[in-house]
Amino acid sequence: MGTRFKGDTKDPAVNVTNWVLLVTIIFSVSARLGTKIRLFKKLTADDLLIIASLAFGIGQSIVVSLAVGSGYGKHSTDVSSPDMDQVMKNLFAGSLLYLLSLTFSKLSLVVFIRSLTPSTKDKWLARGVEAIVYAWAVVTIFGTAFQCSLPHTWDFQNGKCFNLLTWRYFIAISNIVTDLLIVAQAMVLVSSVQTTLGRRLVFAGIFLPRLFVTIATIGEIAFIKKGTRTNDATFQMCEITIFEVIIQCLSIVTACWGQLNPFLSWMRSNGLKLDGVEDPTSWSYKMRSQSQGRSKSRERENRFENHESFPLPMRRDQILVTHDWEVDSQSSQTHIMESQTHH
């Protein structure tokens, strides 16, 4: 035990990182789901996708912990042959669960961004990004599943495998590319919002934290060669695993970030609308309700025509609407009605 933390083993670092970040993603998803249910009384497709991402993330954390229990983190010379087989099986399963978790977190964010705009152009852009994510998932998951010869596709030490170094570089770089596409998709939406620069920056700030996933992936790339071309895999691969756990955590947290209470409340107060979960107390909902079954003045007709020409969140006046305005307007209407009643 005296040498446990002196570099002879890395299992404490792997285990601590693994479990701490697992708690983090569970908390993040729980906060997101709690917020959505409290505000909208329902969950949507992007919520189901993030739940799937969390489930695979939990599975990945479990198999990493099992690998540590079998000797992962120790030098290969200190790991028996049966334990080495178990380590490789767990790492193999962990890689697949990791990719599945990333896929669903990416899709959750793409679908969320798509739900924020009624623009046909933006929705087609979102579908294009979504298709790229699906393609990335199919290639990386099936490539990882069959990286070594059958039947022991998990045996990267003794099996006949394709170039694992190149393959791991490909996964990391393509992961960066897909995340940058998601951020670009969000920035296109932000640029189309007609509002003040300050509010546009706030809106952009909801999605820019996704770049932390890219930064963590770049950090992983720095250790891929060291962890792949080695005869001491159980010791040298630990940094890759730690970065994968970090990337998985950041991917889920940043997919939940924009759906936490402060940001959803901000978007609601500025007239933004989530497909399928429009709040009955929102300005846009009440305006549509009031317009039904009522003859409109010329001003109201012009306003309605503008609404058709510039759907949410494209209109400047809708973006600048706040709940304070709405409350004041309702209060004024109440006073007018009371005055008419007294007369």
Cβ atoms within 10 Å, residue 308: 7
Fold adopted by 11-269: Rhopdopsin 7-helix transmembrane proteins (1.20.1070)
The long-range contacts involving 145-150, CB below 8 angstroms and separated by at least 24 positions, are 145/96
Q: What is the mean pLDDT of the chain?
A: 81
Peptide bond into 151 cis (omega under 30): yes
pLDDT band at 177 (very low <50, low <70, confident <90, very high): very high
In 3-state terms, what secondary structure has residue 75? coil
What does pTM read for this prediction? 0.78
Dihedral in degrees, nearest 10, Cα atoms 135, 137, 138, 142: 150
pLDDT at 28: 95
Distance of CA 66 to the CA centre of its chain: 26
- Domain ranges in the chain? 11-269, 283-342
Question: Average of pLDDT values for 187-197?
Answer: 84
Exposure letters 313-339 (e unless 16+ CB within 10 A, then b): bbbeebbebeeeebeeeeeeeeeeeee
pLDDT digits (tens, 9 = 90+) for 280-334: 444 334 434 444 444 444 445 554 454 443 344 443 333 333 333 333 444 444 4
pLDDT digits (tens, 9 = 90+) for 17-74: 999 999 999 999 999 999 889 888 889 999 999 999 999 999 999 999 999 999 999 9
Cβ partners under 8 Å of residue 243, min gap 6: 216, 217, 219, 220, 223
pLDDT score of 263: 72
Number of Cβ within 10 Å of residue 307's Cβ equals 18
| From 92-96, 175-179, 264-268, the region with the lowest mean pLDDT | 264-268
Residue 237's H or E segment, with its range, is: none
- Token duo for residue 211: 């770049």
Evaluate if residue 172 carries a pLDDT over 80: yes
Q: What is the pLDDT of residue 196?
A: 81
DSSP string, 31-53: HHHHHHHHHHSS--HHHHHHHHH
**Phi and psi at residue 148, to the nearest 5°:** -125, 165
Kindly report, residue by residue over 232-278, the tens digit of the pLDDT: 999 999 999 999 999 999 999 999 988 887 777 777 666 566 655 54
Q: How confident is the model at residue 183 (pLDDT cuts 50, 70, 90)?
A: very high
Share of the chain above pLDDT 90, in %: 58
Taking CA atoms, 202 is separated from 52, 145, 265, in Å, by: 29, 41, 13
